[in-house]
């Protein structure tokens, strides 16, 4: 299997966690005789500093010429006073738009090994397994008009969707639900927003194509409570861009840490893979970052771009195994610390790699 992967590690902990994800992919490639090639390009704050723009054309060209793009994170406090379209985050929105993927899959499942350290009780989270499908190219992030009129002291963004944009992401969500537990929850704010009424009506219409999937609607405010109170009741959850951004960070609490969450964006020209977390300036450069979200993002590259499902599962099993053995990064340690070994980013990466190697060898 041949795969050209563009690595855009970005800022803060982005490079730290991405290094570990790439190392895992190299391990899988060498064990299975696969040819994975890696090219690195700049995005975000590092690109602003070196190229004068958060997304150089060179990075866009390389992304479009690759089979998969693996992204770390962008953003840094030194850029906080810049206008939205000049910031590192603008580079991320631009690469998403250029690649065209509109369905951002964000799986969040509970690890029973982490239950002891969760602020939620084990009987609440045990067995929870939610697949969020976040619409990624519409809504408030991209809607026009938008403006910040400093002189007038007024600013606005537009939450805008077309029927077609909702249909295409809803179809992907229904198809994924068909392969899972056949339940889809669509999240909106249809009691207040016109755009959410269009969303709800469209999802309801698309549901007719999928009679084997049961559909329910939830308002986003109530949903933010339900996912913590009864996370096991949800299977696939589809929602608009900003609601999905917020709900998926929240679902880090179900999994154990924001640093555990991976994502894959499909439906466009080239799939984009990024952990859900950001550049974490508060811990960057200290070896404290949890690389497991980035490593599970690498598993999604194997699943969705390389067609290596068994190897993807092996990487996920290795993560589970390492947690089972009591290895933790600091973000995963809360409450009872007995029997746990706290590791740095690179040590955790090495543990997972070692375990992947063992699992792959024993499966041959
Ligand atoms: P963040 O996700 O970077 O961090 C939130 C909190 O979670 C912090 O306390 C951080 O230390 C912790 N955390 C996050 N990832 C972790 C990991 N892997 N291991 C251990 N702890 C982890 O969000 P923020 O602090 O609100 O934003 C920081 C910057 O990141 C901002 O510039 C923001 O715009 C950007 N951001 C980028 C992305 C992305 O590139 N995909 C995503 C979210 C935020
Ligand atoms: C994410 C991030 C991004 C988003 C930002 C940095 C543009 O929060 O990937 O979740 O809001 O989509
Ligand atoms: Mn986010």
pLDDT of residue 248 exceeding 90, the answer is yes
Q: Which is the catalytic residue, given 235, 245, 273, 351?
A: 245
Report the share of the chain in percent with pLDDT over 70. 100
For residue 119, count other CB atoms closer than 10 A to its CB.
9
Buried b / exposed e over 103-117, threshold 16 CB at 10 Å, is: bbbbbbbbbebbbeb
Q: Which of 13, 92, 133, 250 to mutate to test the pocket of ligand 2 (most atoms within 8 A of CB)?
A: 92
pLDDT of residue 131 exceeding 80, the answer is yes
* Structural domains of the chain, with CATH: 1-100+268-364 (3.40.718.10), 107-257 (3.40.718.10)
The average pLDDT across 58-71 equals: 98
- Average pLDDT of the chain is 97
Are the C-beta atoms of 256 and 118 separated by less than 8 Å?
A: yes
When pLDDT is cut at 50, 70 and 90, the band that residue 302 belongs to is very high
pTM for the model: 0.98
| 106 in contact with ligand 1, CB cutoff 6 A | no
Return d(Cα 69, Cα 40) in angstroms, integer: 10
pLDDT of residue 218 exceeding 80, the answer is yes
Please give the backbone phi and psi of residue 5, each rounded to the nearest 5 degrees, phi first: -110, 125
When pLDDT is cut at 50, 70 and 90, the band that residue 258 belongs to is very high
| 187 in contact with ligand 2, CB cutoff 6 A | no
pLDDT for residue 337: 87
pLDDT for residue 335: 81
- Cα within 13 Å of Cα(345), Cβ side: 23
| 92 in contact with ligand 2, CB cutoff 6 A | yes
pLDDT of residue 18 exceeding 90, the answer is yes
pLDDT tens digits along 29-54: 999 999 999 999 999 999 999 999 99
pLDDT for residue 308: 98
The average pLDDT across 224-240 equals: 98
The average pLDDT across 79-108 equals: 97
Q: Which of 73, 251, 277 to mutate to test the pocket of ligand 1 (most atoms within 8 A of CB)?
A: 277
Residue 327: left if φ>0, alpha if ψ -120 to 50, beta else—which one?
Answer: beta
DSSP states of 117-156: G-SS-HHHHTT-EEEEEEE-SSGGGT-S--EEETTTTEEE
Please confirm, yes or no, whether 235 is among the known catalytic residues.
Answer: no
When pLDDT is cut at 50, 70 and 90, the band that residue 336 belongs to is confident
| 95 in contact with ligand 1, CB cutoff 6 A | no
When pLDDT is cut at 50, 70 and 90, the band that residue 142 belongs to is very high
- The length of the chain is 364
pLDDT of residue 101 exceeding 90, the answer is yes
Host H or E run for residue 331 = none
Atom 32 of ligand 1: nearest residue by CA position:
75
CA distances from 6 to 34, 43, 261, 286 (A): 16, 12, 20, 25
The ligand that comes nearest to the alpha carbon of residue 275 is: 1
| 240 in contact with ligand 2, CB cutoff 6 A | no
pLDDT for residue 116: 79
Please give the backbone phi and psi of residue 158, each rounded to the nearest 5 degrees, phi first: -125, 125
Return d(Cα 319, Cα 360) in angstroms, integer: 14
Question: What's the DSSP call for residue 66?
Answer: S
Q: Which of 74, 89, 275 to mutate to test the pocket of ligand 2 (most atoms within 8 A of CB)?
A: 89
The average pLDDT across 129-150 equals: 97
The average pLDDT across 143-161 equals: 96
The average pLDDT across 200-229 equals: 98
The average pLDDT across 267-296 equals: 98
* Token reading at 346: 């690179």
SS3 355: helix
Please confirm, yes or no, whether 249 is among the known catalytic residues.
Answer: yes
The average pLDDT across 62-87 equals: 97
| 205 in contact with ligand 1, CB cutoff 6 A | no
Are the C-beta atoms of 267 and 215 separated by less than 8 Å?
A: no
pLDDT for residue 52: 97
Strand partners, 149: 154
* Cα of 74 from ligand 2 centre, angstroms: 9
Strands 2-10 and 35-40: parallel
Query: Residues near 18 by Cβ (< 8 Å), separated by ≥ 6?
Result: 7, 9, 10, 70, 71, 72, 294
Edge-to-edge strand order for the sheet containing 103-109?
35-40, 2-10, 68-73, 271-273, 264-266, 103-109, 129-135, 236-239, 183-188, 214-219
Helix 292-304 crosses helix 14-32 at what angle (to 10 degrees)? 40
Are the C-beta atoms of 345 and 17 separated by less than 8 Å?
A: yes
Atom 31 of ligand 1: nearest residue by CA position:
75
pLDDT for residue 267: 98
The average pLDDT across 308-317 equals: 98
pLDDT for residue 117: 76
């Amino acid at each position: 299997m041949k795969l050209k992967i563009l690595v855009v590690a970005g800022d803060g902990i982005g490079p730290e966690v991405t290094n570990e994800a790439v190392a895992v992919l190299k391990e899988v490639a060498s064990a299975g005789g696969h040819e994975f090639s890696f090219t690195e390009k700049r995005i975000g704050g590092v690109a602003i500093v070196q190229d004068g723009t958060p997304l150089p054309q060179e990075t866009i060209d390389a992304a479009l010429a690759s089979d998969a793009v693996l992204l770390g994170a962008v953003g840094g406090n030194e850029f906080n006073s810049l206008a939205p379209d000049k910031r590192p985050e603008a580079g991320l929105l631009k690469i998403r738009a250029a690649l065209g993927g509109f369905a951002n899959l964000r799986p969040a499942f509970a690890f029973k090994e982490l239950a002891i350290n969760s602020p939620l009780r084990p009987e609440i989270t045990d067995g929870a397994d939610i697949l969020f499908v976040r619409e990624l190219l519409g809504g408030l992030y991209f809607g026009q008009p938008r403006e910040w009129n400093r002189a007038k002291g007024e600013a606005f963004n537009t939450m805008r969707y077309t029927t077609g944009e909702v249909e295409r992401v809803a179809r992907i969500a229904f198809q994924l639900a068909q392969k899972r537990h056949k339940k889809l929850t669509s999240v909106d704010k249809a009691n207040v927003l016109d755009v959410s009424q269009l969303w709800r009506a469209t999802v309801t219409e698309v549901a007719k194509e999928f009679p084997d999937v049961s559909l329910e609607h939830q308002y986003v405010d109530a949903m933010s409570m339900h996912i913590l109170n009864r996370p096991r009741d949800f299977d696939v959850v589809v929602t608009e861009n900003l609601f999905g951004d917020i709900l998926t960070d929240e679902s880090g609490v179900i999994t154990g840490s924001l640093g555990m969450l991976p994502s894959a964006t499909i439906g466009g020209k080239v799939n984009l893979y990024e952990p859900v977390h950001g550049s974490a300036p508060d811990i960057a450069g200290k070896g404290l970052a949890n690389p497991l979200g980035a490593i599970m993002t690498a598993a999604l590259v194997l699943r969705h771009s390389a067609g290596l499902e068994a190897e993807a599962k092996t990487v996920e099993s290795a993560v589970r195994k390492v947690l089972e053995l009591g290895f933790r990064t600091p973000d995963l340690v809360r409450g009872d610390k007995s029997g746990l070994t706290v590791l740095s980013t690179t040590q955790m990466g090495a543990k997972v790699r070692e375990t992947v190697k063992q699992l792959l060898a024993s499966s041959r």
